[in-house]
Amino acid sequence: MGWLAFSWNRSRNEKDLGLNGLRLIWMWLKWPLAVGILALLMWQNREGFRDLSAQEKHWPLLGLAFVLVATGISLTFVRWHWLIRALGFEFRLRDAFRLGLMGSAVSYMGAGTLMGDSFKAIAVASGQSSRRIVVVATVFLDRILGLIALLWVGACGSWLTRNLFASELHTSVRTFFWLASSLGTVGLVLLLIPAVTHSRWISWATHLPLAGKPFQQLLDGLALYQRRPSVLVGATCLAIFGHCSMITGLYCCALGLGGWTPSLPAHLYLTPPAEIAGLAPTPAGIGPQEYGIQEGYVAVAGSDVSADVARRSGFFAGIAYRLILMLIAAVGAVFYVASRGASPGSENAGRSSADRKI
């Protein structure tokens, strides 16, 4: 029996070492992968750099693009603040911006948005003595609501452009948008029905040895949202406005660079797939997102523009959009560091009124 236990522990340790080795390899590969994708895109569009330098730039539009993107990102922090406050936690809007901006910066250091969300979850839970599972769940609920909203933006964009793009590819994309957004909305509505969350099979899960107590905390938090469904509805609407603001920012980037630019409804249709591609585990989605924007431009290009011109316009618009995102993330990192020690009460961010010291 001792030999069997030793063999099992040895195989388990070897498996853990293998997983850690894979994580280490990916940690070193994610930036080269992102840079490699960008380098490939730059090589594909190398002839467009000369045309870009000759094009007349519209700097006010590029400035407007920055404002629109910053507004869209700010709305994500307001949305997260709403979700936390609805659960009874005393969480300042200033701290939502502080942690959210730093999360955007952290996403460039790790495996994309997952790393940024993990930072926000750890930071907001660090000042919480109880109900940590609940406050951490708001980070991922916020991400889910944002994804559902993004799918609805894509569905609306596909409807607005339904008479412009009639190929089999576009039909499949439209079907995906409407089906995915509808399923996501139905799932969200079901979570707001007490009869569903108090069903027998869900109640059974609360008695599991290890996961039962945290799961019960999640259900308790969900019950608060069930009493205030307007919070989730409002957060979803805010997410839709935020996505539209950022997509309009991308549209202004293209206009500001002076190249060929698809219409705004076409941007509402082509950008959500690129944003979904940006969820890939590269730093902040660098590479896949730019590729998605570039190919989206090609997909909506009509007979009046060549695929090469559309590809170059999409690539340079995506790069301008990325530079704005990186600038905002850099400003956010500076703001986080500057306000970390000068923010009285920030150490209590995320605490409920029952957890705050009187």
Query: pLDDT band at residue 333, thresholds of 50, 70 and 90?
Result: confident
Binned at pLDDT 50, 70 and 90, residue 34 comes out as confident
Instruction: Give yes or no for a contact between 27 and 294, defined as CB atoms under 8 angstroms apart.
Output: no
The confidence score (pLDDT) of residue 205 equals: 65
Mean pLDDT of 126-131: 69
Cα–Cα dist 212/280, whole Å: 31
In angstroms, how far is CA 315 from the centroid of its own chain? 21
pLDDT of 81 reads 93
Please write the tens of the pLDDT for every residue from 45-103.
777 777 777 788 899 999 999 999 999 999 999 999 999 988 888 888 999 999 999 88
User: Which residues does residue 351 pair with via DSSP β-bridges, in sequence order?
Assistant: 90
Question: Among 137-146, 221-230, 332-341, which range has the highest average pLDDT?
Answer: 137-146
Lowest mean pLDDT among 90-94, 198-202, 212-216, 294-298: 212-216
Q: Is residue 89 within a helix (H) or strand (E), and if so which, with residue range?
A: strand 89-90
Do 263 and 278 meet the contact criterion of CB atoms below 8 Å apart? Answer: no
* Helices and strands counted in the chain (H then E): 14, 2
Residue 109 pLDDT exceeds 80: no
Q: Do residues 244 and 265 make contact, with C-beta atoms less than 8 angstroms apart? A: no
> pTM of the entire structure?
0.83
Question: Distance between CA atoms of 53 and 67, rounded to whole angstroms?
Answer: 24
Instruction: Reply yes or no on whether the pLDDT at 160 is more than 90.
Output: yes
Name the percent of the chain in helix, strand, coil, to the closest 5: 80, 0, 20
Residue partners of 283: CB distance under 8 A and separation at least 6 = 30, 31, 34, 107, 108, 109, 110, 111, 112
Residue 202 pLDDT > 90: no
CB 134 within 8 A of CB 85: no
Tokens standing for residue 2: 């001792």
Cβ atoms of 164 and 266 closer than 8 Å: yes
**The predicted structure's pLDDT at residue 22:** 53
CA separation for the pair 238, 54 (Å, rounded):
39
**95-99, 173-177, 284-288, range with the lowest pLDDT:** 284-288
Single-letter amino acid, residue 56: E
